[in-house]
């Protein structure tokens, strides 16, 4: 088992560092570039939503833990923003209507579900904890 754990400022300027850290971890642990891309895409989506909707662009911290264990890799993202379970209100994303008429939001969870094999959320000790797992 191999892992990386780091805390980032809840600021958009951290996105490049997060992407580099994920790519480095994946490369060092034999995780394909395609799967690294999926993790980066999902991390970017979740992190951005935490900054904008969770902390509402105020100061805060976001923890990311990456683990490779056997035939799976998982990324756990945690924050102390107000409680929000992104998996609680999953509805099918509208991919048919013209972009101009679609309701804003809802594509982030669709993106996570398409790129990951398992998603879970829990609220523990004042923290939102979202775990994303991918079979390798």
110 phi and psi angles, rounded to 5 deg: -55, -45
pTM: 0.89
Q: What is the mean pLDDT of the chain?
A: 91
Where do we find the tokens 């390798």? 136
Across 1-136, the runs of DSSP E, i.e. the strands, are 2-9, 61-69, 72-79, 118-124, 127-135
Joined tokens for residue 92: 């099918």
- Walk me through the domains of the chain, giving residue ranges and CATH numbers: 2-135 (3.30.565.10)
Question: What would the pLDDT profile of 34-78 be if each residue is shown by its tens digit?
Answer: 999 999 999 999 999 999 999 998 999 999 999 999 999 999 999
64 phi and psi angles, rounded to 5 deg: -130, 125
pLDDT band at 110 (very low <50, low <70, confident <90, very high): confident
Please give the distance of CA 53 from its chain centroid, rounded to a whole number: 14
What residues pair up with 77 in beta bridges, in sequence order?
64, 130
For residue 13, pLDDT over 70 is answered with yes
For residue 97, pLDDT over 80 is answered with no
Note the pLDDT of residue 104: 55
């Amino acid at each position: 088992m191999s892992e990386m754990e780091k805390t980032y400022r809840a600021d958009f300027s951290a996105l490049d560092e997060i992407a580099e850290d994920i790519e480095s971890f994946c490369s060092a642990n034999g995780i394909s570039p395609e799967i690294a891309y999926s993790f980066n895409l999902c991390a970017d989506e979740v992190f951005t939503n935490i900054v904008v909707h969770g902390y509402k662009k105020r100061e805060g911290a976001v923890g990311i833990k990456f683990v490779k264990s056997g035939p799976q890799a998982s990324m756990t993202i945690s924050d102390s923003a107000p409680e929000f379970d992104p998996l609680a209100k999953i509805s099918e994303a509208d991919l048919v209507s013209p972009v101009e008429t679609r309701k804003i939001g809802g594509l982030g969870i669709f993106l996570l579900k398409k790129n990951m094999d398992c998603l879970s959320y829990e609220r523990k000790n004042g923290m939102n904890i979202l775990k994303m797992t991918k079979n390798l």
